[in-house]
Amino acid sequence: MEIHQLRYFVAIAETGGFSRAARRCCVSQPSLSQQIMKLEDELGKKLFDRLGRSIAMTDAGKALLPRAKRILRDLQEARNAVDQEVDDETGQINIGIIPTMAPFLLQRSVAAFQKIHPEATISLSEDMTHRLIEQLVQAEIDVGIMSLPIDNNLIDYEELGSEILYLAVAKNGPLDAQPVVSIDSLADEPFIMLHEAHCLGDQIQNFCYSRKISPPVICKTAQISTVQGCVAKGLGVSMIPQMAAREDDSGLVAYKTIEGENPIRAIAAATHSGRAPSKLVRSYIECVQGVLDRIGTKDRLSA
């Protein structure tokens, strides 16, 4: 009997379905189903009756559920106790951050953290939001810096700030002449987008949908710097986060306000809901908050 099997079993019981449990545990449904079958084989009892698309817990499952919850709770309490015994100055912290924030937050926040905890060991993971959430669930990282929304009930988060997404256009191009760019002028404007794997790409798409425009997408890339380079050459327009816009000193891209209201993305520190953040994690979150305060994400760019 494995711990992850018990975790999957409890998730199915609490969510009422295999697919919902798989999403909660950040695993594929076939993998989750296979582990439950192995658990049932080991116990020699069926834990769930499959009734078409619905399931019902068997008597064996009902007997196991409170005991499985107790085992998982005791395990978490043991982990928390060990974490609290670790020297706060020499412990390890595993940090995750999404690629669209890493260039502007990671170096500054880690440098500030190392000044406070010079003996601490730091492990870094730069990855997409969904992968960082999976790493949090699997206890591979202790904290993830990402944008909201976060749709996973195993994840707690603390909103640290927000930043405006500006319309990026070629300097001295036709759209740069507009003090505030109208929505109508964007309807047929070629867009340069980040891949859908980036949550920022989804946020830009959602903004376009909300304003009832469907501009042609001529390029999808993985890097904000590539987006900025394409915009600078006049290949199209895009939406760029305030932190990236503020640090662009090329002079080739203008960052504009859009008619109505520019979209905003929230910046959050995410942790596992079942693990109390250690003092090192709390300290690092405070360092990120300090960086955001210093770089002024609340202040609009000057025109």
Kindly report, residue by residue over 34-70, the tens digit of the pLDDT.
999 999 999 999 999 987 778 899 999 999 999 999 9
Decide: 200 and 128 in contact? Cβ < 8 Å: no
User: Which residue would you say has higher pLDDT here, 241 or 261?
Assistant: 241
Helices 18-25 & 29-43, crossing angle to 10 degrees? 110
Backbone φ and ψ of 54, nearest 5°: -110, 165
Condensed to tens digits (0 to 9), the pLDDT of residues 275-300 reads 889 899 999 999 999 999 988 655 55
CA angle at residue 185 from 238 to 196, to 5 degrees?
Answer: 30
Residue 240: how many CB atoms within 10 A of its CB?
24
CATH topology (fold) of 90-303? D-Maltodextrin-Binding Protein; domain 2 (3.40.190)
Distance CA 129, CA 267 (A): 12
Q: What is the pLDDT of residue 268?
A: 97
Residue 115: band (very low, low, confident or very high) from pLDDT cuts 50, 70, 90: very high
Token pair of 147, please?
A: 């944008």
CATH code for the part of the protein at 3-85: 1.10.10.10
pLDDT at 228: 94
What are the sequence ranges of the domains in the chain? Answer: 3-85, 90-303
Q: Is the pLDDT of residue 301 over 60?
A: no
Q: What percent of the chain has pLDDT over 70?
A: 93
CA distance 110 to 285: 10
Q: Whole-structure pTM over 0.85, yes or no?
A: no
Task: Give me the pLDDT at residue 298, please.
Answer: 54
